[in-house]
Each structure stands twice: as C-alpha cells, then as structure tokens.
Amino acid sequence: MSRAERLLELIQLLRRYRRPVRGETLAIELGVSIRSLYRDIATLRAQGATIEGEPGLGYVLRPGFMLPPLMFSEEEIEALVLGSRWVAERADGHLALAARNALTKIVAVLPSDLRDEAGASSLLVGPGEQLATGDQEIATIRKAIRAEQKLLISYVDAKSGVTERVVWPIALAFFDHCRVVAAWCETRRDFRHFRTDRIKTIKGLDVRYTRRRVVLLKEWRAAEGIPEQ
C-alpha cells in the first residue's frame, strides 16, 4: 500500500468512528507502527483535515474535510474514467458534456503518474444503440427530479393507448436499450415506471410535489426490493 493510499484509508477509518479512537487502534487496523500513524495524522492536518485529539486520548475527525484528487487509488481512477466514459456515451448530451468536463478537471490535478494511468486506461465502453428520446426531454426530467417538481406527460402504453398523467419523478435509470423514469403517479396513486421513448409529450409544471424526494425514493426502493446504496 502506498502512502497516499494509506492516508486515504486513515481518513476512511476516522470517518467510521464518531467518538475519539485511540492511535494504537488505528495503527493496528492500518498495519503500521504508532510512529507512522502519528506522522500520517500530522500530514493530514497539514492538508486541512480537522483531526482533534492527541496521543493517549484518541483522535476524531470533524466533518467537512475532502481529500484532494491526488489521493485516489489506481482502481478508483479507473472507476472514474470508466464511469465518465459510460455517461459520455449513454447519457443525454448535456450530461455527457458534464462527464467529459468533470473527468478533464480531475485528470488535470492528478500527479503525473496517475494522469498517465487515466489517459491510458484500457477500460472501454462499447458502442450502444441510439435511443429515441431527445436530449431536451431527458434534461427536463433531470431538472424536475432535482427541483422536486411535477411533470405533465402524455404516455403511450404497451397497447398503444395514450394517457395524460401528472407524475412526481424521483429517479431516472439508464439502460443500454432504454431509459426509465421512476415516479409517483397521481392517476394511479402509486409508484409507476415510464419508458422515456414512450413519453409523447412532456411539460414541467413548476409545481413542487408535496413530499420530499428522499422520502419517496426510500419508499420506492422498499416497494421494489432495492437495497439502499
């Protein structure tokens, strides 16, 4: 384990403890000497981490500290590159551009060795099918989800029947062959799933739904048997 990876692991350990934890305990979990642990804590403090405590009393990490990108491991870099490439190929144009821009910003501040690793990553995204839903429709859905606002949609079901519904969108799933909106449907008074390629028309209502999205998302996960992430 490199020192950068060890510092990252130390931060993760400290985040798991809400009360002060003894240095000896941390050293044992990291597999390092107590002297090395003290040096690592000093390094993290110099980088801006608010680690309170001292030898013999224990240490606790106060919230708010974010590690710089140089602390990413090689596998984490690969995950970021692969994820960004997938979004760039499979998501709508706005989100694809955001993914490319985010990856560019991350790579720009990496140490040279990790920057080379990111540029030469062999994890690729294969070509996918062009989906029918336009970028503007997907952008409207994503905006409504972020703002917790209702949508008025005209939806074509599997039997070609058309219905008009007011829905509360809570999640958007990207599959290789389609995109699906999970939403509370005011017509059905229950959660429903809508394929975006079957949405004939869509309009943002600029009206917030009456319950918080995080609560609805939790209820939807429970109803679908999807574990919390």
Axis crossing angle, helix 93-108 with helix 112-119, rounded to the nearest 10: 150
Confidence at residue 3, expressed as pLDDT on a 0 to 100 scale: 77
Burial of 214 (0-12, 13-18, 19+ CB in 10 A): exposed
Mean pLDDT value across the chain = 87
Query: Is the separation of the CB atoms in 86 and 102 below 8 Å?
Result: no
**Residue after which a domain boundary falls, among 119, 154, 185:** 119
**90 plus 115 within the same structural domain:** yes
71, pLDDT greater than 70: no
Confidence at residue 161, expressed as pLDDT on a 0 to 100 scale: 94
pLDDT tens digits for range 186-208: 999 999 999 999 999 999 999 99
Query: Is the separation of the CB atoms in 67 and 106 below 8 Å?
Result: no
What is the pTM for the complete model shown? 0.65
**141 plus 220 within the same structural domain:** yes
**Strand pairing report for 162-174 and 179-185:** antiparallel
2 three-state secondary structure:
coil
Query: Is the separation of the CB atoms in 26 and 6 below 8 Å?
Result: no
* Structural domain boundaries enclosing 89: 70-119
Looking at residue 198, its amino acid is R
Confidence at residue 127, expressed as pLDDT on a 0 to 100 scale: 76
**147 plus 218 within the same structural domain:** yes
pLDDT tens digits for range 29-62: 999 999 999 999 998 888 888 899 988 889 998 8
Tell me the two tokens of residue 77: 């870099």
**45 plus 9 within the same structural domain:** yes
**193 plus 219 within the same structural domain:** yes
User: If we measure between CA atoms, which residue out of 168, 165, 88, 166 comes closest to residue 128?
Assistant: 88
Q: How many domains does the chain have?
A: 3
**Regarding predicted confidence, which is higher, 89 or 35?**
35
Whichever domain contains 37, its CATH number is: 1.10.10.10
Inter-CA distances, 70 with 13, 100, 104, 188, 196, Å: 19, 19, 14, 49, 39
Triad 194, 183, 196: Cα angle to 5°: 25
Question: Above pLDDT 90, what percent of the chain?
Answer: 48
